[in-house]
Chains A and B, each alone.
Chain A
């Protein structure tokens, strides 16, 4: 299976943007337990969203997860310069294989 993400996106400060995560096998559903991770240069990734829309305690409220048009989506509402980073989604297949998307480079400009 191949997981696809937008290679790059740009959002204005204070703006809203949605990053998507699609699957070569068909629609992404809650049964694929999609997760989202943020990685800034030189840092380890951190978990933003797990199991479609759940947030760890450290995830800012401006981030939300959902399913949209057969894909998983990460929506950022009210973008801040500090949100500039690479974002990766992860999809679970059949409970025994997990595949990361290629990542989206988000620019806040």
Chain B
């Protein structure tokens, strides 16, 4: 069974940084693209970024391009999202997604 467990969420001031992590298990990790998807309070889903199985390609949504960086460590079956220059509109639940499975999410709140 696939497990994806996010961590690293919390409260941060506008302009600050936060690093999210996702621990993956139950599948051959380096065979799969992985992604981060977020959901603002009371809003729909928004694709944030994804990364190829070998880490050789990354893509970002326009709202986060230049501020967020997705990375993975295939030796540790982990996925990260480095978030810089955070804005209030970045607030929401961030989900780790891969192998057609979703984690439970981690909450990010950007507020002064």
Give chain B's interface residue range (CB within 8 Å of chain A): 10 to 19
A56 at the B interface (CB under 8 A): yes
Q: When A96-B59, A97-B59 are in contact, do A47 and B102 touch as well, CB less than 8 Å?
A: yes
Give chain A's interface residue range (CB within 8 Å of chain B): 20 to 34
The contact string, 1 if C-beta is below 8 Å from chain A, for chain B 51-95, is 000000001011000000000000000000000000000000001
A53 at the B interface (CB under 8 A): no
Contact present for A103 and B45 (CB under 8 Å)? yes
Residues of B within 8 A of A101 (CB): 44
Contact present for A45 and B95 (CB under 8 Å)? yes
Q: When A50-B100, A56-B100, A97-B59 are in contact, do A44 and B44 touch as well, CB less than 8 Å?
A: no
Q: Which of A47, A95, A96, A99 sits near B100, CB closer than 8 Å?
A: A47
B101 at the A interface (CB under 8 A): yes
Return the chain A residue nearest B6 by Cβ.
A44
Residues of B within 8 A of A45 (CB): 37, 45, 95, 102
Assembled-state Cα–Cα distance A52/B9 (Å): 33
Contact present for B50 and A98 (CB under 8 Å)? yes
Q: Which of A46, A47, A95, A100 sits near B46, CB closer than 8 Å?
A: A100
Q: List 10 A–B pairs whose Cβ atoms lie within 8 Å, in order of A's numbering.
A: A45-B102, A86-B44, A88-B44, A90-B47, A97-B47, A97-B59, A98-B47, A98-B61, A100-B46, A103-B45
Residues of B within 8 A of A (CB): 35, 37, 44-47, 50, 59, 61-62, 95, 100-105
Residues of A within 8 A of B (CB): 37, 39, 44-47, 50, 56, 86, 88, 90, 95-103
